[in-house]
Amino acid sequence: MLQEYLAAQRATLLGIAARLVAHESPSGDKARCDALVTLLAERFAALGTVERHANPAGGDHVLVRVAAPGTPAGAPPALVLCHYDTVWPAGTVATRPFHVEGDTAYGPGLYDMKASIAMAELALRAVAALGLSLARPVILLITSDEEIGSPSSRALIEATATGCAHTLVLEPPIEPAGALKTARKGIGMFTIAISGRAAHAGVEPEKGASAITELAHQILALNALADPAQGTTINVGLVRGGSGRNVVPAEALMEVDVRAWTSAEAARLEGAIRSLAPVTPGVSLAVAGGFNRPPLERTPAGAALFAQAQALGATLGLALHEGASGGGSDGNFTAALGVPTLDGLGAPGAGAHAAHEQISVSGALQRAALLALLLTRL
């Protein structure tokens, strides 16, 4: 009944998705993000109690509390996580508007992850329309800054997740099989500033201390911290320094991306990076940053949550698999609190952060049915 009901909601899904894509919401663009928040608050008002959490640095966050009549008082809720911000600058929709070709819908931010917001709305509406009972209260949290590391929403996510039974994250699955995610790497972001001493490169180079030479030494030291066998990666992604070809450079800087599967490995890396020492005489280092997202480690509780989702998916004809991702999500925060977390429950598709971003419409409707089952059975 549930699957048949949602399969018939194709036009509704596309209508919601089209409106969400049309409301562009680049991370940090408060005016555009807040306009979308207003629309989201209106759409979810009929489904639960809507809270708007202010974010002076960007778009506000939306939290929807859906009651579960008949469940024991104080029953821990299920947390559903989405984000509405996208990587696309304002004006992208004008050149690449939402459109549908057969079973595929296209649009900036659709796959990552406005289709998921439409799925969440459809799932909750299906529960109400079919007179189904939620297994526990539901909290739907839709944030505005996931694409830039969740600087404003992290505290809200962690406070909301505390005491929840589990977290369901509607990020895209692992393609091409649409696998759910039971593990994600933790992500560290470091900036290393190097201060040397300027001098004329031709007249008195011996009086200088090259920050760029030191940068080269430190890049090699950082690369040595990687451990491919454990999946630990180090990427010096941005470097800059110097003031002229004929000047011994006094300043240099690099930005470093660090990823690890476990908290222990993340701690090792953070300690090692903060302990880096200069090699070049007369040069100093300043290390800033750290692990922005802790690892989402595969735990027995997380694996059990996946097994339950897999069994429920089988009743819908879905053959669900689990996998791990080198990217992070807001689920990293909830998992680090010890809350069982299942990620990758969003619409199947392709092209996250790419011009061909797309979803499978039928796949999104199936995942909406799966979400409704998870909310009514778990």
Nearest in space to 96 (alpha carbons), one of 118, 117, 111 = 111
Output the six-digit token pair for 203.
């007249």
Checking if the pLDDT of 39 tops 90, the result is: yes
Which pLDDT score, from 0 to 100, does residue 149 have? 95
Could you say which DSSP state residue 75 is in? P
Which pLDDT score, from 0 to 100, does residue 291 have? 96
343-360 pLDDT, tens digit each: 999 999 999 999 999 999
Q: How confident is the model at residue 1 (pLDDT cuts 50, 70, 90)?
A: confident
Which pLDDT score, from 0 to 100, does residue 354 have? 97
> Measured between alpha carbons, how far is 138 from 150 in angstroms, rounded to an integer?
22
Checking if the pLDDT of 87 tops 90, the result is: yes
Q: How confident is the model at residue 122 (pLDDT cuts 50, 70, 90)?
A: very high
Reported as type and span, the H/E element at residue 35 is helix 30-44
Are 221 and 276 spatial neighbours (Cβ–Cβ below 8 Å)? yes
Domains and CATH numbers, the chain: 2-185+296-377 (3.40.630.10), 186-293 (3.30.70.360)
Are 251 and 194 spatial neighbours (Cβ–Cβ below 8 Å)? yes
140-198 pLDDT, tens digit each: 999 999 999 999 999 999 999 999 999 999 999 999 999 999 999 999 999 999 999 99
State pTM to two decimals.
0.94
Q: How confident is the model at residue 221 (pLDDT cuts 50, 70, 90)?
A: very high
For the chain, how long is the longest CA-to-CA vector?
Answer: 84
